């Protein structure tokens, strides 16, 4: 477990900073319970200041069970609807009341997600449970309708001194030998993001170097980790903990990370058996993800994350040094393309599913692997293309123009060789027949001669 997770406060009292906001939140839940204010609440504030933590702590303090959902996950709406719409849904199996925590609602503000936002607004109207939403930026114009229907509580970045006191406590509990100056540098560098500070402390401790010089080297990264950073950490490390660390403050859902890893594993790993092992872990992670979503058992996400990060990381025997240019998953970007492109995708999926007897949904999951094989091994790729009866357009969609050309050249050459061989065989046969005829004629002659 990461230190940020290990030292996550369980109760509101333990949450540091934002004293007024904490009070406001308490007042809200009391008003909710008494029926005075049934609006959902939005906790708005920068990353790592304790939004999710406060929501969970409040639930615990007031004896609610929490259902935690990510707002930008399209499945969330379905789950919430099945829970909050009915009176039965207001109690958990343990007979306790349910509080819905809808994390990161600002993630749905894109124009593509108008439907998602409408869905949430509808749900709010009928909900019989208290709902807490969290967001980094609630003042985007597109979120106005949501803002108007909720009580907004603003959280501020955690002051450097407060961060410092938390770091000191953790350092003491972990038995670290670290001087005040180092901790101060870490605290300052985090710019109000307590999670980032704790993560920095942990990664410096993991690296065995806790000096002011090391703390100064903490690069001026954007506190929100990009998916590039996450896959770089996973693909470069051979350390279990570091791999897990990669997912901690990542703002992407597990499915997205999965696609990114699938796309980039063969770009980093050079040994075929490592690529195979890594894919094996990835597909196991995928299994857990599917199960988590089907059973709405989100604790399974933990296993999926471990398989996806540490499993993939440890699939390699040793580190690959040097810079690897990672790329965006092809399948991922292509889904956003034109209608014509989507038609091609549809054809590809239906070909895969009819040849291999799987659902088109499952076929879509296989696309990443297929693209990778086509690119890495055009000869094997050619066999697959023949098997699935893909057209050149379709192969180009899955890879790129050059690869498609290469594969179809291979296929053409194969075809040519086949035709030549057939011709040869045919010529051979004709030749043989002629010879046989000759021979039999010869025989006839001898026979005739014999008879004469």
Q: Which listed option, Mg ion, ligand ATP, none, makes contact with residue 136 (CB within 5 to 8 Å by class)?
A: ligand ATP
Q: Which listed option, Mg ion, ligand ATP, none, makes contact with residue 50 (CB within 5 to 8 Å by class)?
A: ligand ATP
- Name the site residues for ligand ATP (rule: CB under 6 A): 4-5, 7-9, 15-17, 47-53, 134, 136, 158, 194-195, 198, 249
CB of 164 to Mg ion, least distance (A): 22
- Rounded Cα distance, 225 and 404, in Å: 35
Q: Which one, of 108, 161, 160, 117, lies nearest residue 136 by Cα?
A: 108
**Closer to Mg ion by Cβ: residue 52 or 371:** 52
* Token pair for 44: 């708005």
Q: Which listed option, Mg ion, ligand ATP, none, makes contact with residue 195 (CB within 5 to 8 Å by class)?
A: ligand ATP
The DSSP 8-state label assigned to residue 156 in this structure reads P
**Closer to ligand ATP by Cβ: residue 134 or 371:** 134
> Which single residue brings its beta carbon nearest to Mg ion?
52
The CA-atom distances, in angstroms, between 78 and each of 82, 119, 401 are 6, 9, 40
DSSP bridge pairs for 154? 44
**Closer to ligand ATP by Cβ: residue 156 or 422:** 156
Q: Which one, of 159, 140, 132, 161, lies nearest residue 40 by Cα?
A: 132
Cβ atoms of 71 and 105 closer than 8 Å: yes
- Rounded Cα distance, 46 and 195, in Å: 11
CB of 255 to Mg ion, least distance (A): 19
- Rounded Cα distance, 397 and 352, in Å: 14
**Closer to ligand ATP by Cβ: residue 18 or 237:** 18
Q: Which listed option, Mg ion, ligand ATP, none, makes contact with residue 236 (CB within 5 to 8 Å by class)?
A: none
Cβ atoms of 42 and 133 closer than 8 Å: yes
Query: Which of 52-60, 90-98, 357-365, 427-435 is the region at the interface with Mg ion (rule: CB under 5 A)?
Result: 52-60
Residue whose structure tokens are 């896959």 = 231
- Rounded Cα distance, 446 and 452, in Å: 9
Instruction: Return the residue of 2, 18, 52, 293 that touches Mg ion, per CB under 5 A.
Output: 52
**Closer to ligand ATP by Cβ: residue 103 or 375:** 103
CB of 57 to ligand ATP, least distance (A): 9
Query: Which of 44-52, 154-162, 323-331, 432-440 is the region at the interface with Mg ion (rule: CB under 5 A)?
Result: 44-52
**Closer to Mg ion by Cβ: residue 64 or 390:** 64
Cβ atoms of 237 and 312 closer than 8 Å: no
Cβ atoms of 312 and 257 closer than 8 Å: no
- Rounded Cα distance, 170 and 175, in Å: 8
Query: Which of 48-56, 87-95, 183-191, 232-240 is the region at the interface with Mg ion (rule: CB under 5 A)?
Result: 48-56
Q: Check residue 18 for interaction with Mg ion (CB under 5 A).
A: no
> Which single residue brings its beta carbon nearest to ligand ATP?
50
């Amino acid at each position: 477990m990461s230190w940020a997770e290990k030292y996550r406060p369980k109760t509101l009292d333990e949450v540091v900073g934002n004293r007024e906001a904490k009070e406001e939140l308490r007042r809200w839940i009391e008003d909710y319970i008494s029926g005075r204010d049934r609006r959902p609440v939005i906790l708005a504030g920068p990353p790592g200041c304790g939004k999710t933590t406060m929501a969970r702590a409040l639930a615990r303090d007031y004896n609610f069970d929490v259902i935690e959902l990510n707002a930008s996950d399209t499945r969330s709406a379905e789950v919430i609807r099945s829970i909050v719409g009915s009176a039965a849904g207001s109690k958990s199996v343990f007979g306790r009341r349910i509080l819905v925590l809808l994390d990161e609602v600002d993630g749905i503000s894109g124009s593509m997600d108008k439907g998602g936002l409408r869905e949430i607004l509808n749900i709010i109207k009928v909900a019989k449970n208290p709902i807490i939403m969290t967001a980094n930026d609630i003042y985007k114009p597109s979120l106005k309708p949501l803002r108007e229907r909720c009580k907004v509580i603003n959280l501020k970045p955690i002051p450097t001194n407060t961060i410092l006191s938390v770091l000191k406590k953790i350092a003491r509990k972990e038995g670290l030998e670290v001087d005040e100056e180092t901790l101060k540098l870490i605290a300052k560098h985090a710019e109000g993001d307590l999670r980032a500070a704790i993560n920095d402390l942990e990664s410096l401790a993991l690296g065995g170097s806790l000096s002011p010089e090391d703390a100064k080297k903490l690069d001026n990264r954007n506190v929100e980790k990009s998916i590039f950073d996450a896959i770089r950490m996973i693909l470069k490390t051979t350390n279990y903990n570091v791999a897990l660390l990669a997912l901690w403050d990542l703002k992407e859902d597990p499915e997205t990370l999965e696609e990114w890893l699938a796309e980039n594993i063969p770009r980093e790993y050079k040994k075929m058996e490592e690529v195979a092992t890594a894919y094996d872990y990835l597909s196991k992670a995928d299994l857990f993800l599917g199960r988590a979503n089907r059973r709405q058992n989100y604790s399974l996400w933990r296993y999926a994350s471990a398989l996806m990060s540490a499993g993939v990381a440890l699939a390699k025997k040793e580190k690959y040094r040097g810079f690897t240019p990672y790329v965006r998953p092809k399948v991922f970007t292509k889904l956003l393309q034109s209608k014509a492109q989507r038609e091609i995708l549809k054809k590809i999926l239906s070909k895969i599913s009819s040849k291999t007897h799987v659902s088109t949904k499952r076929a879509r999951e296989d696309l990443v692997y297929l693209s990778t094989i086509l690119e890495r091994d055009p000869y094997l790729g050619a066999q697959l293309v023949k098997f699935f009866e893909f057209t050149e357009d379709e192969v180009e969609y899955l890879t790129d123009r050059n690869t498609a050309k290469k594969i179809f050249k291979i296929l053409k050459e194969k075809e040519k060789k086949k035709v030549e061989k057939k011709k040869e065989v045919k010529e051979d046969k004709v030749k043989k027949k002629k010879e046989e005829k000759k021979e039999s004629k010869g025989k006839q002659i001898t026979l005739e001669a014999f008879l004469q």
